[in-house]
Amino acid sequence: MPQVTDRIGGRGDKKRLPGHKEEDARPRTDGARADEFQPKILIFACNWCSYAGADLAGVSRVQMPPDCQVVRVMCSGRVEPELVISALCRGMDGVLVLGCHPGECHYTQGNYYARRRALLLKELLPYVGIEPERFQLKWVSASEGGKFAEVVQEMVEGVRRLGPVGAEWG
C-alpha cells in the first residue's frame, strides 16, 4: 500500500508529477522568455460573480496569462480543501478560489464558509509539503473584469517566483 508521502511526493522526484515532465514543455505564448517557468493555475470561480467577471474580462479582451484553467462552481463555499490539495498534488502549480464579495453571496453565507476554509487550508498546506502561497482566496464581482485579470496575473507572478510544485521535494 503506498504511503501518503509517496502520493504527495515526499521522497519521489518531481518528474513523477503530472504536467512537469521535460518533454511536455510548451512554447511561451505571452511574450516571456522561452526558458522561463510557466505555472499552471486552477481557478475555481463562483458562478454568480467571479465567473461573470472572467467572462467580462474575456469579452473586454483583457490580456490573460496562459495555462490558467477556470472551473465554474455554484459557490466559492463549495470548494472543499480536498479539491485544492488534490489539484496541487496532481500537478497544478497554484489554486485560486474566487468568490462574491462578503455580504453579496447569492447563497447568503457561502463566501464566509470559503473564508474559514481558506484560513484553515493555509495552515494545513505546510504539513503536506506545499507552500501556502500556492493557494489564494479572492473576491471578484461580476462587474470587475479588470480586477479578475489583475488577480490572476498576481497569482501567476507569485507562483512563478516559487517555481514548479514539487521542486522542493527532490
d(CA 13, CA 32): 27
The answer to whether the beta carbons of residues 162 and 131 sit under 8 Å apart is yes
What percent of the chain has pLDDT above 70?
Answer: 77
- The DSSP output letter for 95 is E
Question: For the chain, which domains are there?
Answer: 4-9+36-165 (3.40.50)
- Give the predicted TM-score (pTM) of the model: 0.79
**pLDDT tens digit sequence for 107-165:** 999 999 999 999 999 999 999 999 999 999 999 999 999 999 999 999 999 999 999 98
Q: Residue 4, class by beta-carbon neighbours within 10 Å (0-12 exposed, 13-18 middle, 19+ buried)?
A: exposed
pLDDT at 65 (0 to 100): 86
Distances (CA, A) of 78 to 46, 124, 140: 9, 18, 16
Distance in angstroms (rounded) separating the CA atoms of residues 115 and 30: 32
Strands (E) located in the chain: 41-46, 68-73, 94-99, 135-139
Mean pLDDT for the chain overall: 84
